[in-house]
Amino acid sequence: MTRWSRESRVFPDDFEYDFVGPDRGWNYEPSRAEVFKQFRSPVYTTDAQGWLTYYNDAAAELWGYRPELGKARWCGSWRIFTTDGALLPLDQCPMAVAIKEGRQVRGVQAVLERPDGTRIPFMPYPTPLWDASGTLVAASNVLVKITHLAKSDLPDIVAETWAELTPDPMLAGWGPDDLTACLQAALAAQADVEFGYQIDCERLDDWSGTATEKERILDQLEHKRQRQRAVLNVRLEQLQQRATEIMARGQSEAEQRARTLWSSSTALH
């Protein structure tokens, strides 16, 4: 039986060699974050419960701000709407459906709203991610910005709620009852603007991100508020002008009736 020793030249001394790991290109598997960094389209990931774990710069640019990882859930959009303009709760957005039902969601169009009120149509591609045992461990979503919606066009102003409050050329034909109803709607809309602004600001009460990002979001919210108020102020000015015209016309008609009655009375005598 042959006995091998350290002196044997069949196996040289181990200390004569430096064993190092293989090159990066050999059997290298990049991390998920490294893979997503290569995406030029907006993309983000969540954990199995839907809490954001990563997003790239393109996603932050699309959303209009940088949501906090681990605190934003389902999506980084400030708000999401359907193509018909209805508000879509975030826990019902395509990413939430994909995670809750464990399936890919395709062929869906939606509209996201930035903090400044700008609305952008997009198509999401939420995809659940499983580990080797088949357990859902995360999800990814690629957001593709689209220029045309299949069902309807978006208004130019920040919210469809105010579409009926924009200047209307038919306003000149309105009477007192019409003016009263429109005035009530405009005043209610003004209250909604202030209430919505307050609610948006309260969303930042627990903000733990950078102060610079928080200030940027607040500036966008204020910009949205001023845009909505400007639309309503135009309508209120129109209403005031129309009310003045009606009052002046009513006074003129009353004076004319008085003169007619006076002339009739004089003729009888």
Residues 140 and 174 placed together within one structural domain of the fold: no
Q: How many domains does the chain have?
A: 2
Residue 8 belongs to some domain of the structure: no
- Owning domain of residue 214: 160-268
Residues 138 and 256 placed together within one structural domain of the fold: no
Residues 171 and 135 placed together within one structural domain of the fold: no
**Structure tokens, 124:** 């999401």
For residue range 179-204, list pLDDT tens digits in order.
777 788 888 888 989 999 999 999 99
For residues 13 and 11, give the distance between their C-alpha atoms in angstroms, rounded to a whole number: 7
Query: Which of 121, 145, 169 marks a domain boundary?
Result: 145
**130: domain CATH number?**
3.30.450.20
Residue 215 belongs to some domain of the structure: yes
pLDDT at 46: 96
Long-range contacts of 81-86 (CB under 8 A, 24+ apart): 81/110, 81/111, 81/112, 81/113, 81/119, 82/110, 82/111, 83/109, 83/110, 83/111, 83/121, 83/149, 83/150, 83/151, 83/152, 84/151, 84/152, 85/111, 85/152, 85/160
pLDDT at 259: 56
Query: Which of 89, 113, 145 marks a domain boundary?
Result: 145
Residue 123 belongs to some domain of the structure: yes
Query: Which of 145, 169, 189 marks a domain boundary?
Result: 145
For residue range 216-268, list pLDDT tens digits in order.
999 999 999 998 888 888 888 888 887 787 777 766 655 566 555 545 555 55
pLDDT at 147: 79
Residues 100 and 191 placed together within one structural domain of the fold: no
Residue 57 belongs to some domain of the structure: yes
Residue 154 belongs to some domain of the structure: no
Residues 60 and 88 placed together within one structural domain of the fold: yes
Residues 225 and 191 placed together within one structural domain of the fold: yes
Residues 213 and 115 placed together within one structural domain of the fold: no
* SS3 category, 223: helix
pLDDT at 237: 84
Residues 127 and 241 placed together within one structural domain of the fold: no
Residue 193 belongs to some domain of the structure: yes
Using pLDDT thresholds of 50, 70 and 90, give the confidence band for residue 8. very low
Instruction: With CA atoms as reference, report the closest residue to 227 among 189, 260, 268.
Output: 189
Residue 68 belongs to some domain of the structure: yes
With a cut of 80, say whether residue 144 has pLDDT above it: yes
Among residues of the chain, what percentage have pLDDT more than 90?
Answer: 50
Residues 117 and 89 placed together within one structural domain of the fold: yes
For residue range 80-119, list pLDDT tens digits in order.
999 988 999 999 999 999 999 999 999 999 999 999 999 9
With a cut of 70, say whether residue 213 has pLDDT above it: yes
